[in-house]
């Protein structure tokens, strides 16, 4: 008898709790459209800012990937060809090869040194070698700036997107407390919308920031490897000029 009464009491309690939850939470939809419709204008502004940052970072990732892939591909084709032309002392041919590979970071640097050397009519004097070296250094700086173009955007988005999402979290919590004060109730239905709004903006901020940080680190590593390749090519070209001066 006692067990029957306890079972009846438990079932009645669970049914009442579920009814209350459905009644309070029924007005809140957790679908993307439902969450958007339930968001306050400030939370919507945060979501729009994060969406713009995500599109911007994605555009930079695609642009840098295509640029680096083209530079890598053309440099692999350029290096052996220009080395063969210089070995045969064909300066003009080496410059033409470099002009045909304008997307190559190595070609852009080597071309600057070769053109500076050609100005002196191929006379491998000490002054010519020094001027060619300065031309190579200037070209390296220019190419390095081109390679890093857009990476600051990824760094900025990666560092600020979590804070933008955190701002949305604060706004969502404030919205939840405002709902409690307005409805004069502390039930789950009063705060569900504000809490979901807060969590969505936090998740969105992390979703934007994490790929941006990963892409920034990846592309920074690629730029460093390109810098090493340009330094090596410049050193080899200066060594070639020095050897040419010893032959005279």
DSSP code per residue over 24-93: HHTT---SHHHHHHHS-HHHHHHHHHHHHHHHHHHHHHHHHHHHHHHHHHHHHHHHHHHHHHHHTT-HHH
For the chain, 248 residues long, give each residue's pLDDT as a single digit of tens.
433 433 343 344 334 333 333 334 445 454 556 555 666 677 778 888 889 999 999 999 999 999 999 999 988 888 888 888 878 778 788 888 888 888 888 888 988 888 888 776 656 677 888 888 898 999 999 999 999 999 999 999 999 999 988 888 887 777 666 666 666 655 555 555 566 667 778 888 899 999 999 999 999 999 999 999 999 988 888 888 887 766 65
pTM (2 decimals)?
0.75
* Measured distance CA(40)–CA(127) in Å, rounded: 69
* Measured distance CA(199)–CA(154) in Å, rounded: 24
Q: How many CA atoms lie within 13 A of 14 on its CB side?
A: 5
């Amino acid at each position: 008898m006692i067990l029957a009464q306890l079972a009846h009491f438990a079932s009645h309690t669970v049914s009442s709790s579920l009814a209350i939850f459905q009644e309070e939470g029924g007005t809140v939809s957790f679908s993307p459209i439902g969450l958007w419709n339930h968001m306050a204008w400030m939370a919507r502004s945060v979501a729009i800012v994060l969406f713009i940052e995500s599109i911007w970072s994605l555009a930079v990732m695609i642009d840098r990937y295509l640029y680096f892939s083209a530079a890598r591909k053309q440099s692999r084709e350029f290096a052996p060809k220009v080395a063969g032309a210089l070995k045969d002392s064909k300066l003009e041919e080496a410059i033409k090869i470099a002009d045909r590979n304008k997307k190559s970071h190595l070609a852009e640097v080597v071309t600057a040194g070769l053109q500076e050397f050609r100005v002196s009519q191929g006379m491998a004097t000490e002054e010519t070698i020094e001027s060619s070296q300065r031309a190579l250094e200037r070209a390296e700086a220019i190419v390095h700036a081109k390679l890093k173009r857009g990476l600051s955007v990824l760094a900025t988005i990666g560092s600020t997107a979590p804070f933008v999402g955190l701002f949305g979290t604060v706004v969502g919590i404030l919205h939840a407390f405002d709902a409690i004060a307005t409805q004069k109730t502390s039930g789950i239905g009063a705060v569900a919308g504000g809490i979901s709004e807060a969590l969505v903006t936090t998740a969105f901020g992390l979703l934007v920031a994490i790929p941006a940080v990963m892409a920034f680190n990846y592309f920074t590593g690629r730029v460093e490897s390109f810098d090493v390749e340009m330094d090596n090519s410049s050193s080899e070209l200066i060594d070639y000029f020095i050897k040419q001066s010893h032959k005279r």
